[in-house]
Structure 1
């Protein structure tokens, strides 16, 4: 579905892993066999969960575990990096196409492939303020998370800018809600069950209402109770000749759910402040 090299490599590695498994011996039947159903070639067989066999030095007290759900792949990662992939038709036309992203680990391997789903009319009329759904596929080729952004037209729209984080089969993890302020961009990450705020996100000063006042390289603090839990920045990477949105988890005790909500917040900030294509 996605036509970029990183996702093709992710799929290629997974297919090699499945091909290397021992195939069972064919079953031979002595008597007559009655066929009750036709084979379904369209059914998608989930790939096995990839287990890393390479040691790394992220932490001397690191405990290894096999992820059982899509957002569990974020567990124990000190940071993740969101890279946008660009397509030729988007560069040659005046209307941007649906965005594609790759979420990478610090080692550079692809953790998720993100694909936007939106209408061409919304992209033409509303630009980066458009509503959309962002589908995140994990290494097993299954949909790990779904981000849903509602329509919000910058600062002049009274409707708050927010994004919902869902997991299959329809569980709401939480919301990222914008809080209009005069001095700096402020967002709250809310729990999907209780609705209580978990984290507060604060951006640069003197850019509260203006979505276009932020420089391309910006820094956002994520804290709770005055303690820094994580941070999000948008920086230019000279080696890749593009900007990337980076998440650094300052608190190693963050749960996989909390990391997934912070990842959703990074995508919301990407659209609110750093998308320039209309």
Structure 2
């Protein structure tokens, strides 16, 4: 009985057919053959003390205690290239955030950071367009600790007409956010007419601090004084708790301006709000720097109220935006 010719194939040809039936290539296609791979990187053991072996600045959904890097809204991009193979150019430096503390009883969410601090720095962003055009923009502040770690970000939310029509007398809303972008505190300043007598209560400036947003934490109220700035820090029931006493001099001219935080009787020193003198250019560009100091064991809510008083002081005495440029009469 004869064997069909289709079955009489050499073993070598059958092996080639079996190998050709596998459509998977031996190597992935080299789409980027014009790029030169970077040098090999030696393996480094993960640092001790981080959950899951994650280095500082990396975030994993499985590790809730690891905090992500801060990215402004609209600037978060996915990773498109393999690290080490493509050059990374024009990348902003990562922002180092203060490690998130554990929740504490009887402390509003987000204020746990202040419980660990006795000193914070309020750094206002420099806005060159304000100097060039005279157009007032929303203020932005970075809140940092003594080791230059970010604690909060404060952003003003005011419409263009209100900012440029009322300037430093404008009502505003300041939103305080943490490293996760959560709004943990809101500060509101209502509009107060200054056309009447300065000693009239309706002309005195005021700031309401809410923490969490919608829940009143306290008020910062101005008191009329002939030669210096005087404020009272009040609780949610408008009961005076502390007082703030400013310098009796022209504010912000060549030296630091110190606003002392004292007890109601004026005897005990509690803290201070210091506006640092950083030069004429910083003053012209409204890039103020405040140094806020308070006792480490002070009630965290009172720390937040002193923190809020800093912004009312900034807008009243140091928000000196340049006037719009005048057109030539010729």
> Which of the residues 128, 147, 154 maps onto 2:168?
128
Q: CA deviation at 1:87?
A: 3.4
Q: CA deviation at 1:86?
A: 2.3
Alignment correspondent of 1:10: none
Q: Contact between 1:78 and 1:106, CA under 8 Å: does it hold in 2?
A: no
Q: Contact between 1:126 and 1:153, CA under 8 Å: does it hold in 2?
A: no
CA distance in 1, matches of 2:204, 2:111: 26
With normalisation by structure 2, the TM-score equals 0.60
Q: CA deviation at 1:150?
A: 1.5
Residues 1:263 and 2:307 are matched in the alignment: yes
In the TM superposition, 1:212-227 aligns within 5 A as 213-216=250-253, 217-224=256-263, 225=265, 226-227=267-268
Two-structure CA RMSD over aligned residues (Å): 2.7
Q: Describe the shift of the 1:51–1:218 C-alpha distance in structure 2 as closer, same or farther (beyond 3 A).
A: closer
Q: CA deviation at 1:126?
A: 1.0
Q: Describe the shift of the 1:123–1:244 C-alpha distance in structure 2 as closer, same or farther (beyond 3 A).
A: same
With normalisation by structure 1, the TM-score equals 0.71
Q: How many residue pairs end up in the alignment?
A: 219
CA distance in 2, matches of 1:236, 1:271: 16
Q: CA deviation at 1:175?
A: 0.3
> Which of the residues 178, 186, 190 maps onto 2:234?
190
Tell me the alpha carbon deviations over residues 11-55 of structure 1, each in whole angstroms, 9 at most, x when there is no partner: xx9972336849xxxxxxxxxxxxxxxxxxxxxxxxxxx8849xx
Unaligned residue ranges in structure 1 (runs of 5+) = 1-12, 23-49, 54-64, 208-212
Residues 1:73 and 2:116 are matched in the alignment: no
CA distance in 2, matches of 1:88, 1:169: 31
Higher relative contact order (CA 8 A, sep 6+): 1
Q: Contact between 1:148 and 1:165, CA under 8 Å: does it hold in 2?
A: yes
Q: CA deviation at 1:223?
A: 0.7
Alignment correspondent of 2:38: none
> Which of the residues 46, 52, 60 maps onto 1:18?
60
Q: Which moved more, 1:84-93 or 1:227-236?
A: 84-93
> Which of the residues 180, 203, 223 maps onto 2:246?
203
Alignment correspondent of 1:26: none
Q: CA deviation at 1:255?
A: 1.2
In the TM superposition, 1:111-122 aligns within 5 A as 111-122=151-162
Structure index of larger Rg? 2
Q: CA deviation at 1:95?
A: 1.6
Q: Contact between 1:117 and 1:133, CA under 8 Å: does it hold in 2?
A: yes
Q: Describe the shift of the 1:179–1:90 C-alpha distance in structure 2 as closer, same or farther (beyond 3 A).
A: same
Q: Contact between 2:185 and 2:213, CA under 8 Å: does it hold in 1?
A: no
Q: Describe the shift of the 1:97–1:17 C-alpha distance in structure 2 as closer, same or farther (beyond 3 A).
A: same
> Which of the residues 71, 88, 95 maps onto 2:135?
95
> Which of the residues 219, 227, 247 maps onto 2:292?
247
In the TM superposition, 1:149-168 aligns within 5 A as 149-152=189-192, 158=200, 159-168=203-212
Unaligned residue ranges in structure 2 (runs of 5+) = 1-54, 65-96, 323-330
CA distance in 2, matches of 1:236, 1:183: 21
